[in-house]
Amino acid sequence: MSSSFFLKKEPKGNKKRKGQNVGSASKNKKRKDVSIPTTTKKRPQKDDEEIASDDEEYESDIDGNKSALVFSSDEGEEETAQDKRLRLAKQYLEEIEKQEAERAEEREMHDHVSKRLRTDYLDSVGRLRRCIAASIAGYDADNIITLKHKLQHLPMCSLVLSADGKYLFTGSKTQHVLKWDLNTLKIVGSFNVQPYTEDPDNGKSRRSHIIAMCLSTDMKYLALAEGGNNIQIWCPQQLTHLKTFKGHRDVVTSLVFRKDTHELYSGSKDRSVKIWSLDEMAYVESLFGHQAGVTGIDALSRERAVSSGGSDNSLRVWKITEESQLIYNAHQSSIENVKFINDENFVSCGVDGSLCVWSAMKKRPLCTVREVHGKQTNSDANWICAISCVVNTDLIASGSCDGFIRLWQSSDNGKKLKQILEIPMNGFVNSLAFNNDGTKLYAAVGQEHRLGRWWRDKEARNKIVVIDLLKKEVENSS
């Protein structure tokens, strides 16, 4: 029994396998007889056909699985880990450079904005100071521009320049005001200033002439004194009449707009200064104090005005909000004109030929230069007909009838006044104006003084003159 227990029998499956091997041919025949549907057929391969499996390269991972590389053999070499790190580092550096460039541009823009805001603030409070007089080397004598027109064949009396420097309005002893385009140097408009009164006979009995003009900063209103008691308000863009202010009892001699407002100040021979609001087109109030007719007036951004009292030999600073005034005396004869240099200093001129620089905090002038335009044949000083200055700078211009326009430099906080340039100009210089940066000077010249006909220079010509001022070249330091 033990032997039978260990006797191994042949498995049944082995018999079948043996039978299968023997009769494989017959079974294959039977399989061929049965048709089995197939979905794909193996396509025979040609010798020149590309095989995808042979075209790609594979690498094995830790488990032995194959995975395709990044680049095929036809496209180039594969990117190694070091190349990838280098490429990413370059991209990172480029991104940093781009961000730093943007930040630098933002910082530069911020600096420009900060500088502009500071300049605007200092300008608004009257503390902006620029020194430009020392940079003037001369004037362009070969390219002096002369503006003339048959409508203004009589002596030129006044001119006013727009804030952007594009337009110039001129007035003379004729009844016409001309508007010049300074880019083309051509007239783009004109109008007649016949007095707008209720009684038209009054307008015909007197020939108007433009004694003074002023223009609002936004070029919305043009005010002019037409030789009578009234003030005419015109639209400088459409050249249409808007309003006539009546109230002065004698000839209006001077006009000025407060900077960046529609508040108008007027001076008259009736010894008063009047304030007008053009927003309401109405009279506001009158200021009294001068003992003679007012000959000049000026104002900046503050609610203050400075006026010259003519033959009373006084200057007055009117503090309008405080309803008070400050009185200044120094001229030996009639004071003709006054201009603000900045909100703290102003300059005045008169018949005595003196040019004075003042501080609003002191009763006496900081500086006085006498007989700045020489003497006449009778040993009297040539009176100064017009002055102008570039606001918040040290550059001043004066004009008389001695044949020259003179430029001055104010230094040491107004304590010194030095002549820097002479520009030949025959006739009476009745009005002067600078552009904003002090590179151009405009002069209204005539054979007679703007206020009378007691003296005539027959050799002079009635005209507007545009003078280019030359700047010194800045030397490059090596």
User: What pLDDT digit, counting tens, does each position of 250-277 carry?
Assistant: 999 999 999 999 999 999 999 999 999 9
Query: Is it the case that residue 396 has pLDDT exceeding 80?
Result: yes
User: What pLDDT digit, counting tens, does each position of 172-225 carry?
Assistant: 999 899 999 999 999 999 999 876 544 444 444 556 789 999 999 999 999 999
Q: Can you read off the two tokens belonging to residue 128?
A: 């902006």
Query: pTM score, two decimals?
Result: 0.73
Query: Is it the case that residue 293 has pLDDT exceeding 70?
Result: yes
DSSP bridge partners of 456: 448
Provide DSSP, 307-355.
EE-BTT-EEEEEETTTTEEEEEE--SS-EEEEEESSSSEEEEEETT--E
Q: What percent of the chain stands above pLDDT 90?
A: 57
Per CATH, the homologous superfamily of domain 133-450+463-471 is YVTN repeat-like/Quinoprotein amine dehydrogenase (2.130.10.10)
Do 56 and 72 touch, CB atoms closer than 8 A? yes
User: What pLDDT digit, counting tens, does each position of 131-156 carry?
Assistant: 999 999 999 999 999 999 999 999 99
Alpha-carbon gap, residue 36 to 89, rounded angstroms: 61
User: What pLDDT digit, counting tens, does each position of 405-438 carry?
Assistant: 999 999 988 899 999 999 999 999 999 999 999 9
Q: C-alpha distances in angstroms, 343 versus 88, 208, 361? A: 61, 34, 11
């608004």: which residue's tokens?
Answer: 124
Q: Which amino acid is at 182?
A: L
**Quick one: pLDDT band at residue 113, thresholds 50, 70, 90?**
confident
Of 226, 295, 207, 303, give the one whose Cα is nearest residue 263. Answer: 303
62 Cβ contact partners less than 8 Å away, ≥ 6 residues apart: none
Environment class of residue 387 by beta-carbon count within 10 Å: exposed (0-12), middle (13-18) or buried (19+)? buried
* Range with the poorest average pLDDT among 48-57, 352-361, 415-424, 467-476: 48-57
Environment class of residue 195 by beta-carbon count within 10 Å: exposed (0-12), middle (13-18) or buried (19+)? buried
Q: For residue 45, which phi and psi values (nearest 5 degrees)?
A: -95, 140
